[in-house]
Chain A
Amino acid sequence: MRIKRSLQTLAGVLAAASVGLSLAPAHAADHANEQLYPLFSYRTGPYAPAGIPQWGGIRDYFNYINSHGGIDGVKVLVQECETAYTLERAFECYERYKHGYQGAQVAALFDTSSGFDATISDEARADKLPVVSVAGGREDAVDGAVFPYQFPVLFDYWTESSIVINYIAKQLGGLDKLKGQKIATVYHDSGYGRDTIEPLAILAKKYGFIDIEIPVPDPGEQQQAQWQQIKQQGVNWVFLRAWGVMTPVAIKTAARVGFPSDHIIGDIWSGSEEDVKPAGSAAIGYKAVTVFPSGSNFAISQTLKKEIIDPGKSDLRDTSKFGSVYYNAGLVSAIIYSEVIHTGHEKFGNRPLTPAEGQWALEHLNITPERVAALGATGLLSPLKLTPEDHEGEPSAKIQQWDGHHWNVLTGWLNGDRALFHDAIFAKAAAYAKQKNLPPRPTLTN
């Protein structure tokens, strides 16, 4: 009896497993006329609240594009793969979709976590698959000569540091007023968080402010000691580089020790509704850098509302997320992706692109202010121009402030002092090339 039952269990397990796995790398060419967008999502785990609205933005935009025939007639096939924000699940997703899915090809992979971006660097180089990190990714990858397949587009944390320092200077009445100011950076103790240590040291040297670096261990649910230290040292401004639950705890703890919320300026990943709402009234006045301004008044948002949200076709279960910072972040990713494919179509014809064509398209992407306007994304997306040498474009961001209900944008697009860091970043890229023994990239042709 027992043996029979265990046999049945075993047979069941094996059958389910083999059915599942045998269908995994399917070769049917059902989707040969579509372009694959592998979406490495995280709808579970501690970072799901930051993820879900992004996937909503991405899916809704493609849904809208597809309902109008696709990008120049090529439909986008979104295949979602749950990673739970872990590296190895993302890695398996990469292996599963790097050669496409049922005939649909990948032209460029838009990744969804900076940890994965760093992990996949060598693999993507070997597979010749362009990997795009929107407002994230490794700094030195802007150097297209060393990193032909990586595209940290739109924004970087070095420029962010400079934007924040410039903004503080403006509040004080000039860059010369920075001298002697105590500016503390409270950062998530990870590769992402530590990224600004170096640029802030450079900036501190240039402007004479006192640079205080305070790490918070992951996940950051207890920050009493750190903020007490800030209060004790008489810090004037705080640059908050948090992620996930660390942001609301930081804002609340700041209020507890009596640090003014409007003297805290958050990172782009500490500036969403999900970050400030849990902090309640303590967050009123809190500021943050953003490259994905919130709001639903952009022309494209209005179109989406009419065609996707209102008819109930949205991916969002909770449509109040429409127009939130993370939803708009997803929207920005999807718009950039569509423009990349469109750029490729102009050169190679209106058909699904290969990874090599995707790389070409990325390196010749030019979203001019006029094009941004035509897309209905004025104010949402900053103009973006990439070249084979520059894989980032001109980074720019806005400063926004939370009023207890909404984010209010305080500034226009701000450009940091990117030139100041140019040499340091390109030296890093060169050092990487040397360490890895990379041959110089063949002469870039158009």
Chain B
Amino acid sequence: MLFLVNIIVAGLLAGLMYALVAIGFVLIYKASGVFNFAQGAMVLLSALTFVTLNEHGLPFWLCFIITVGVLIVASVLIEFLVLRPLVNRSPDTLFMATLGLSFVIEGLAQLVLGTDVHQLDLGIPDVPLKLYGLQVSDFDLFTAAVSILLVAVLALLFGKTRVGISLRAVADNTLAAQSIGIRLPHIWRIVWSVAGVVALIAGLLWGNRQGVQFSLSLVVLKAMPVLIIGGFSSIPGAIVGGLIVGATENLADIYIGPLVHGAVSDWFAYILATAFLLIRPNGLFGEKPIQRV
């Protein structure tokens, strides 16, 4: 029984890590309708920048600020060079453009910062605390706290500030938003920058677990089913989706895996996502588009 609880808890915590990556997707999807595959590359770029600066002896906060600066510059460039020329194009085209973008970002990041494997130590112990037999570490609690804090900050940002309200207007009706004077490129730059910061946080937490290296960009594959289950445009959806995927995936690996001679977490989340979609075709929290003839 305790074993089962531990499996589920571990899964939920892993799910929060997936959700962190998925939130970055959601922000961009809401603002620009782009399914941004380059989010994984952004995770890599941000973590790599951070860790390289850190290895040169800069203090934590300064590394963080400089990395955020780099991400803002990147967002402005992406908006100017990729998004603006592709405005009003089909979602497939935009998706492919972000795939191309991920090649560029990954290549540039590794060209400038090297392909080495880096250790990233946030200084938070990752050994079990043994709380009533639960296998939870300080790092797990920290991750959970960061996720909750992040969602709260984003909720405030988009619920209370001017930028946030503009963003919601853009997401709701782009044309109407423009007609009342909301400048689209401006909103995009801000949202991509915020998504960049989210990528940095995800990159730091993932990097602490597995080291900072190219494989970080592969976390998008874990984030995609999360996103699909939660709905592309919902931040709470990303969190709930993450928890669902994390827990069930862990359970499946342990209880279904041995029956089929292998690990199933490769595909399990995608089948699960499909099953969810059959019940709710726009994800758990997605909005249903209205079709007019």
Contacts and interface: CB of A to CB of B under 8 A. Distances in A.
B214 A48 contact: yes
B210 A221 contact: yes
A215 B263 contact: yes
Nearest to A272: B117
B92 to A, nearest CB: 22
B250 A225 contact: yes
B213 to A, nearest CB: 6
B114 A318 contact: yes
A323 to B, nearest CB: 16
Contacts, number: 111
B3 interface: yes
A255 B208 CA distance: 14
A46 B40 CA distance: 13
Interface string B1-22: 0010011001100100000000
Given A219-B215, A224-B250, A44 B128 contact: no
A274 B211 CA distance: 10
A229 B256 CA distance: 13
A193 to B, nearest CB: 11
A282 interface: yes
Nearest to A51: B115
B115 A52 contact: yes
A228 B3 contact: yes
B244 to A, nearest CB: 15
Contact of B116 (A49, A232, A248): A49
A249 to B, nearest CB: 5
Nearest to B137: A256
A392 B128 CA distance: 45
Contacts of A225: 7, 10-11, 249-250, 253-254, 257, 265
A215 B260 CA distance: 11
A73 interface: no
A278 B218 contact: no
Given A48-B115, A232-B3, A224 B11 contact: yes
A12 interface: no
A189 B116 contact: no
Contacts of B107: 44
Contact of B222 (A46, A222, A252): A222
A397 B107 CA distance: 37
A278 B128 contact: no
A245 B213 CA distance: 8
A216 interface: yes
Nearest to A52: B115
A278 B117 contact: yes
Contacts of B120: 278
Interface string B103-138: 000010010001111111100001110000001010
B211 A278 contact: yes
Interface centre among A52, A222, A280 (most CB of B within 10 A): A222
Main secondary structure of the interface of A (DSSP, over half): helix
B126 A252 contact: yes
A416 interface: no
A282 B208 CA distance: 12
A244 interface: yes
Interface in B219-267: 219, 222, 249-250, 253-254, 257, 262-263, 265-266
A219 B195 CA distance: 25
A258 interface: yes
A226 interface: yes
B212 interface: yes
Given A189-B262, A219-B215, A224-B250, A256 B119 contact: no
A317 interface: yes
A44 B115 contact: yes
A204 to B, nearest CB: 17
B209 interface: yes
A107 B96 CA distance: 43
Contact of A256 (B128, B219, B254, B263): B128
Contacts of A278: 117-120, 210-213
Given A44-B110, A278-B210, 11 more contacts: A224-B14, A225-B11, A225-B250, A225-B253, A226-B263, A256-B126, A258-B135, A277-B118, A277-B119, A278-B211, A318-B116
24 contacts: A44-B107, A46-B214, A46-B215, A49-B116, A189-B263, A221-B210, A222-B14, A222-B265, A224-B11, A224-B250, A225-B249, A226-B263, A228-B135, A245-B211, A249-B210, A255-B126, A257-B135, A258-B135, A274-B116, A277-B117, A277-B118, A278-B212, A278-B213, A279-B211
